[in-house]
Structure 1
Amino acid sequence: MTATRANVHGTAIVLGTRGFLITGPSGVGKSKLALACIAAARQAGEFAALIADDRVDLLLEHGRIVARCPATIQGLIEIRGAGIGKIETAPAAVIDWAVLPVRAPFDPRLPPDGETLPLPLGRALPIVRVPVEDGASALAILRVLLAEKLGF
Structure 2
Amino acid sequence: MTPPRHNVHGTAIVLGTAGFLVTGPSGIGKSRLALACISAARQMGHFAALVADDRVDLSIEQDQIIARCPASIEGLIEIRGAGIARLETVPAAVMDWAILPVSAPFDPRMPPENEELPLPLGRSLPIVRVPIENGVHMLAALRALLPEKLGF
The answer for the alignment partner of 1:49 in structure 2 is: 49
Q: Distance in 2 between matches of 1:75 and 1:29?
A: 18
The answer for the alignment partner of 1:58 in structure 2 is: 58
Q: Distance in 1 between matches of 2:6 and 2:150?
A: 29
Supply the AA of the counterpart residue of 2:41.
Answer: A
TM-superposed deviation, 1:4: 3.9
Q: Matches of residues 53-92 of structure 1 in structure 2 within 5 Å?
A: 53-92=53-92
The answer for the alignment partner of 1:24 in structure 2 is: 24
Q: Deviations over 1:63-104 (max 9, x none)?
A: 000100000000111111111111111111100000000010
Give the count of matched residue pairs.
Answer: 149
TM-superposed deviation, 1:151: 6.7
The answer for the alignment partner of 2:112 in structure 1 is: 112
- The TM-score, its normalising length taken from structure 2, stands at 0.94
Q: Deviations over 1:90-123 (max 9, x none)?
A: 1111000000000100000000000000000000
Structure 1 spans left out of the alignment, 5+ residues: none
Q: Is the 8 A contact 2:18 2:150 kept in 1?
A: no
Where 1:147 maps in the other structure, the secondary structure is coil
Where 2:121 maps in the other structure, the secondary structure is coil
Q: Distance in 2 between matches of 1:46 and 1:104?
A: 30
Q: Distance in 1 between matches of 2:150 and 2:36?
A: 21
Where 1:33 maps in the other structure, the secondary structure is helix
Q: Deviations over 1:13-52 (max 9, x none)?
A: 0001100000000000000000000011001100000000
Q: Distance in 1 between matches of 2:134 and 2:70?
A: 32
Q: Distance in 1 between matches of 2:118 and 2:34?
A: 21
Supply the AA of the counterpart residue of 1:133.
Answer: E
Supply the AA of the counterpart residue of 1:82.
Answer: A
Structure 2 spans left out of the alignment, 5+ residues: none
TM-superposed deviation, 1:136: 2.0
- The TM-score, its normalising length taken from structure 1, stands at 0.94
Where 2:110 maps in the other structure, the secondary structure is coil
Could you list the structure 1 runs, at least 4 aligned residues long, displaced by more than 2 angstroms after superposition. none
Q: Distance in 1 between matches of 2:33 and 2:147?
A: 19
Alpha carbon RMSD of aligned pairs, Å? Answer: 1.3
The answer for the alignment partner of 1:5 in structure 2 is: 5
The answer for the alignment partner of 1:122 in structure 2 is: 122
Supply the AA of the counterpart residue of 1:27.
Answer: G
